[in-house]
């Protein structure tokens, strides 16, 4: 085994440079992962742009899959894995003892004295390897892993993370039931994952929306199970959803758009009376214009903010990826080496001419 790890380190806004860090000693309760691949999340380019703040310098990346290189006896017993196993690593790093953690809300953990998410802890915090844009990743005692088949190509295995988000945000949180109508705003990774999740839940009408430039993604949404897609630049979404649902509108609306503040008011208009809305796409510090709270009151809507994924949704996602049921290779568009991380972030943000990226994986 090597004695140090290469990593890409963010030092400031759009400032991503290579670095090297010593590998830590592994005790009874922790482990070291040899990273096979790390997916690039939409929030990664928001972090890259400075919209999501992280304490610099930091190794980004919270969607890693890899091989257990070293593991302590207690950690092996607790996680049910051993050296040589492939695992998917959950994004959160909970402290395990704060009020939220002990009440089963580890996604809201704030008790660890540092950001409780991989990719957002500074390299100054030992042992530095807190991000997936690296050859190795440290797995602490309170982290969670999911054993995963080695038969799945690594660049597809990392889709466990967005698909896990789809199951939690589009199904578990709004309690999407068999036969219900769901509208998914945004056809990116998590929008497509939400289509898959809604189909698995038995939704009766799945509608995905996007822009004209998202034609390829909307076609893939239909292939994954969407009954209808709407180009909101060519069709008025509220009128079209009213037409599709026979005037009933959507039981569930899930917003997974990044930066698009207008999607929040759009979701309110698309939901039926008594409907449920999940807001999962981050907007940065941008206010929502024309937000009329009386619409929520008058329609008795339930609005939920979604942050992170829980154990059950990750576990479901791992099994979906392993099953081969969906043509996920069509969702994965690019595999890049670590030193092209900045290019990958620009591609996912749609800022590289001639590239139509949906899902990108970095491979050390």
Q: What is the pLDDT of residue 111?
A: 65
pLDDT at residue 37, rounded to an integer: 98
Residue 120 has pLDDT above 80, yes or no: yes
- The pLDDT value recorded for residue 113 is 64
**So what's the pLDDT on residue 101?**
85
Distances (CA, A) of 29 to 70, 87, 109, 136, 334: 11, 16, 20, 17, 35
Mean pLDDT of the chain: 95
In this structure, the strands spanning 31-39 and 64-71 are: antiparallel
User: Which ranges of the chain does DSSP label H, i.e. alpha helix?
Assistant: 42-49, 73-79, 99-102, 154-157, 160-167, 189-201, 215-224, 237-244, 262-270, 293-299, 311-323, 341-348
Measuring CA to CA, which residue among 254, 301, 302, 260 is closest to residue 279? 254
- Residues of the chain above pLDDT 90, percent: 87
pLDDT of residue 107: 82
- Displacement of CA 146 from its chain's centroid (Å): 16
Q: Is the pLDDT of residue 200 over 70?
A: yes
Over residues 21-55, the pLDDT tens digits come to 999 999 999 999 999 999 999 899 889 998 888 89
Stretch 78-82: mean pLDDT: 97
Q: Give the model's confidence band at 98: pLDDT under 50 very low, under 70 low, under 90 confident, else very high.
A: confident
Predicted confidence at residue 10, as pLDDT, reads 98
pLDDT tens sequence across 323-350? 999 999 999 999 999 999 999 999 998 8
pLDDT of residue 112: 62
Kindly indicate the confidence band of residue 156, based on its pLDDT and cuts at 50, 70 and 90: very high
Mean pLDDT along residues 81-99 = 93
Is the predicted pLDDT of residue 1 greater than 80, yes or no? no
Q: How far apart are CA 205 and CA 199, in angstroms?
A: 9
Radius of gyration of the chain (CA): 20
Digit-coded pLDDT (tens) for 278-293: 999 988 888 999 999 9
Token digits of residue 32 = 């070291």
- The string of pLDDT tens digits covering residues 127-143 is 999 999 999 999 999 99
Among 52-56, 156-160, 216-220, whose mean pLDDT is lowest? Answer: 52-56
């Amino acid at each position: 085994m090597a004695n140090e790890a290469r990593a890409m380190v963010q030092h400031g806004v759009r400032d991503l440079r290579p670095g090297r860090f010593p590998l830590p000693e592994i005790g009874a309760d922790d482990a070291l992962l040899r990273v096979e691949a790390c997916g690039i999340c939409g929030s990664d380019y928001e972090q890259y742009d400075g919209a999501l703040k992280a304490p610099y310098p930091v190794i980004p990346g919270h969607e890693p899959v890899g091989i257990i290189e070293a593991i302590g006896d207690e950690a092996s017993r607790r996680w049910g894995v051993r050296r040589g196993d492939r695992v998917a690593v959950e994004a959160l790093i909970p402290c395990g003892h704060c009020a939220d953690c002990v009440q089963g809300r580890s996604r809201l953990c704030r008790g660890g004295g540092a950001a409780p998410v991989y990719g957002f802890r500074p390299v100054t915090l030992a042992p530095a390897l807190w991000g997936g844009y690296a050859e190795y990743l440290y797995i602490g005692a309170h982290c969670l892993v999911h054993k995963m088949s080695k038969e799945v190509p690594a660049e597809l295995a990392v889709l466990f993370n967005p698909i896990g988000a789809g199951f939690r945000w589009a199904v578990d949180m709004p309690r999407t039931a068999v036969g219900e109508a769901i509208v998914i705003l945004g056809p990116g990774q998590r929008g497509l994952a939400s289509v898959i999740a809604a189909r698995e839940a038995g939704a009766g009408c799945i509608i995905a929306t996007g822009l004209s430039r998202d034609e390829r993604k909307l076609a893939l949404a239909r292939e994954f199970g969407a009954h209808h897609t709407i180009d909101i630049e060519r069709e008025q979404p509220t009128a079209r959803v009213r037409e599709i649902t026979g005037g009933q509108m959507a039981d569930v609306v899930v917003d997974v758009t990044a930066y698009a503040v207008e999607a929040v008011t759009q979701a309110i208009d698309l939901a039926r009376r008594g409907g449920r809305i999940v807001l999962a796409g981050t907007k940065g510090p941008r206010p929502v214009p024309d937000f009329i709270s009386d619409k929520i009151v008058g329609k008795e809507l339930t609005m939920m903010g979604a942050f992170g994924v829980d154990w059950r949704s990750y576990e479901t996602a791992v099994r979906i990826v392993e099953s081969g049921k969906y043509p996920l290779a069509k969702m994965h568009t690019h595999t890049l080496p670590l030193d092209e991380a900045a290019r990958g972030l620009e591609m996912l943000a749609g800022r590289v001419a001639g590239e139509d990226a949906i899902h990108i994986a970095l491979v050390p």
